[in-house]
């Protein structure tokens, strides 16, 4: 378990698996340069990402074209570029503030 940690402490901070997150794949898909200082992250980030927790439906849902829709447990609200950077650096987990 390789975790990207945040320098700032917060009472609601948790460690989450990156594979459980739904986040913007734009930076992976189009190889866009990361900005806002995210490209300088190597082993620690200033603040944890912020995510919303979802209830996963027990009945299978269908997506576009009748394909099964894969639901994720969390969606990233703030810090999508930090998640992308964590994946680029080979991290499997990331610190996050979870909102219900």
Share above pLDDT 70 across residues of the chain, in percent, rounded to a whole number = 100
Phi then psi dihedrals of residue 75, to 5 deg: -125, 140
pLDDT of residue 82: 92
- What is the arithmetic mean of pLDDT over 25-51? 83
Per DSSP, the three-state class of 25 is: coil
Whether the Cβ atoms of residue 96 and residue 49 lie closer than 8 Å to each other: yes
Whether pTM > 0.95 for this model: the answer is: no
Q: Are 54 and 73 in contact (CB under 8 A)?
A: yes
- Cα–Cα distance for residue pair 94/25, rounded to 1 Å: 17
Quote the CA–CA distance of 56 and 3 in Å, as a whole number: 25
Q: What is the pLDDT of residue 26?
A: 81
> pLDDT for 42-78, tens place per residue?
888 999 999 999 988 888 888 888 888 888 899 999 9
């Amino acid at each position: 378990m390789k975790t990207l940690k945040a320098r700032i402490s917060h009472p609601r901070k948790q460690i989450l698996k990156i594979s459980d997150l739904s986040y913007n794949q734009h930076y992976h898909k189009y190889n866009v340069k990361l900005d806002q200082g995210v490209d300088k992250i190597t082993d620690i980030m200033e603040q944890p990402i912020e995510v919303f927790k979802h209830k996963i439906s027990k009945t299978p849902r269908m997506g576009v074209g009748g394909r099964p829709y894969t639901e994720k447990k969390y969606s990233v609200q703030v810090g999508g570029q930090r998640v992308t950077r964590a994946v680029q650096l080979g991290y499997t987990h990331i610190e996050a503030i979870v909102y219900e």
